[in-house]
Amino acid sequence: MLGEIRHDWTCEQIESLFALPFQDLIFEAQRIHREHHSPNTVQMSTLLSVKTGACPEDCAYCPQSVRYETGLDRESLLAVGEVVRAAQAAQAAGATRFCMGAAWRTPKKKDMEVMTTMIREVRALGMETCATLGMLTREQAQELRAAGLDYYNHNIDSSPEFYEQIITTREFADRLDTLEAVREAGMNVCCGGIVGMGETLHDRARMLQVLANLPQHPESVPINQLVAVPGTPLADAAPVDPFDFVRMIAVARIVMPASYVRLSAGREAMSDELQALTFLAGANSIFYGEKLLTTGNPDATRDRGLLARLGIAPESERGAAHA
């Protein structure tokens, strides 16, 4: 029965959800959403790039790769005090979770020393903490958890079959190894993917199948719409059909009922009406603030105005969802 938490989805079953008439799909997603979450709340996170550019990976979508000329200014690791001030500003604006992202393949020992200090300082503000730092060893995951890190973000990006067309400097299995290390350390997992990179519907279904069939569903599932950045190999990628994007949100909600489904990258280009449809389809988390690592995001005033028009309150103002 749809709405049960399960870990045995077949790709064919997930593809059949995508094939439902649009209104039937949205109805099921909203019904399931209300079973597991407060219907008119959204969890708000702010993401800060604490180290920008010069990443050795070749992810075809990413302007931070050292392999592409995107005009991005490289920045070394920020000072702890600067990060704490940014977290304080995010908290004052309504964010409950502060995410720190660094463009590394994997953090070095000296990087870990600074990151663990950042995590402790942000945690001391009373905010949830999240980080995305690349691949982790089990020892690094344990170290981050000991510092108080609540969530670790490590997206699988796409299906195992399509993955090699987007990234060649690491394997899909490397992503899963990091997720396993994070789980073993006792942290929550933030893991999703990207649509609009040229993948097929089957690839989208396979990506969700991998996530839904993990031993434990990710607590947060960011669904990113590709931001086609000039200078990257995907600069000329065709835009995603808005209804197809809403279907992706709805199917993610159905196969991972208790997870937070986050409307993530690409939101700056979305109309208010499209965003409202994604909330109806089960999205209940957003990144809040004017920048996502290196790409744009709607400003806080616009977000507040849209949520008010829809009668949706930040989770911190209405109480946590009852999932």
Q: What is the pLDDT of residues 10-38, one digit of tens each?
A: 999 999 999 999 999 999 999 999 999 98
Residue 158: Cβ within 10 Å count = 26
pTM for the complete prediction? 0.87
pLDDT of residue 193: 94
Confidence of residue 276 (pLDDT cuts 50, 70, 90): very high
pLDDT of residue 291: 44
pLDDT of residue 68: 66
Residue 197 pLDDT > 60, yes or no?
yes
Active-site positions read 55, 59, 62, 99, 130, 190, 262
At 18, the amino acid letter reads F
Residue 296 pLDDT > 60, yes or no?
no
pLDDT of residue 75: 66
Which tokens is 31 given? 């019904």
Q: 28 — phi, psi (to 5°)?
A: -65, -40
Query: CB burial class (10 A; 0-12, 13-18, 19+) of residue 8?
Result: exposed
At 208, the amino acid letter reads L
Which tokens is 310 given? 């829809």
For the packed helices 242-255 and 11-18, what is the interaxial angle rounded to 10 degrees?
A: 130
Maximum average pLDDT range among 102-106, 108-112, 207-211, 285-289: 207-211
Interval 193-207 mean pLDDT: 95
Q: What percent of the chain has pLDDT over 90?
A: 50
Residue 51 pLDDT > 80, yes or no?
no
Q: Which comes out higher in pLDDT, residue 233 or 19?
A: 19
Residue 47 CA to residue 288 CA, distance in Å, equals 8
pLDDT of residue 108: 85
Tens of pLDDT, residues 56-94: 777 888 877 766 666 656 666 788 888 888 888 888 877
pLDDT of residue 72: 59
Tens of pLDDT, residues 132-169: 888 899 999 999 999 999 999 999 999 999 999 988 88
* Nearest in space to 87 (alpha carbons), one of 53, 126, 115, 114: 126
Q: What percent of the chain has pLDDT over 70?
A: 90
- Mean residue pLDDT of the chain comes to 86
Q: Do 254 and 209 form a contact (C-beta atoms < 8 A)?
A: no
